[in-house]
Amino acid sequence: MNARREDRRARTLLTPEGLALPITLAPRASRAGALIIDVMIIVFSLVAIPLLLALIVDGLFDDSPLARANVDDRVAEFLGILAILFAFFTWYGYFLVQELGPRGATLGKRMVGIRIAARGGARLTPEAVIARNLLRDIEIFYPLITLFVLLVVARNEAPIGILGWVMTGWFLLFLLFPFFNRDSLRAGDIVAGTWVVERPRTKLAKVLSVEGAAKGASDVTGVRYAFGEAELSIYGEKELQTLERMLRESPPEALAAVHETICRKIGWDPGAGDERAFLEAYYAQLRNRLEADLRFGKRKADKFA
């Protein structure tokens, strides 16, 4: 049953380099769990950090003009503005900074093993991340806050008319939106051109690190592939992991496309008939180079680094 569900979530992502990368869409439950974790982290930060700062200020400046009892209205208003700005940048900066990072995921997403990606295979842009996060507020949080306010108003026996039903319908429409499209996209994903996928957990396999160039000449042509520093410096860890998955899972025609793409990037004549041996050699030497750099404290996360 689990394998069948994973097959339904299996997709192929075509990168700008022409690589056909197999991915798995994140389950809806994982996305919901990640959002709950992220909101809990943000709320804790918005409550705990100002409270801690207030306690520190009270302790340091007791019986001084900066003590809370001696602060005039203008200073209090200024501090209120700072608190609002802090809440704004905490809420939006939390998602923006982390999702634009190399992992493409917030702490909540990393804990459940998912990340966001651009559906076209390109890099995530700030515009896309901002759009999907602004839409999340419109989809979920604004109607929830409105419903909470209406509940308080109703408890005070004030009339709210049909507004409560409108807000409930609004909330349910967007909440159930991922259940009515094949890729489980919410409205923010559609607008931003993103989707949420499972983060690859596969570690670099030892068996691959001793194949290709590490074992000697090609079994097909007898050629011993050797790549220079300039040819290996083009790609990073992300591309290495992609190549590993391709060598494990992809059919020969997909490997031929990858082989042609890498040859074009490094300036080699692609040739034909020895694609797997070439890719295994490139994988082994690229991995050795990246591991050697790590020992000297240098890390290349991807080809853009």
CA dihedral 161, 166, 168, 169 (to 10 degrees): 150
What's the CA gap between 93 and 29, in Å, rounded?
A: 24
Chain centre distance of CA 65: 47
pLDDT at 87: 86
103-136: pLDDT as tens digits: 788 999 999 989 888 887 667 788 888 999 889 9
Half-sphere exposure of 198 (CA within 13 A, CB side): 17
Structure tokens at 267: 């300036």
DSSP state of 21: E
168-202: pLDDT as tens digits: 999 899 988 988 888 889 998 999 888 898 876 54
Weakest mean pLDDT among 49-58, 63-72, 141-150: 63-72
Mean pLDDT of the region 149-174: 85
pLDDT at 210: 40
Provide the 3-class DSSP secondary structure of residue 267: coil
- The answer to whether the predicted template modeling score (pTM) of the entire model surpasses 0.85 is no
- Name the residue with higher pLDDT: 156 or 191: 191
- CB distance 121 to 15 below 8 Å: yes
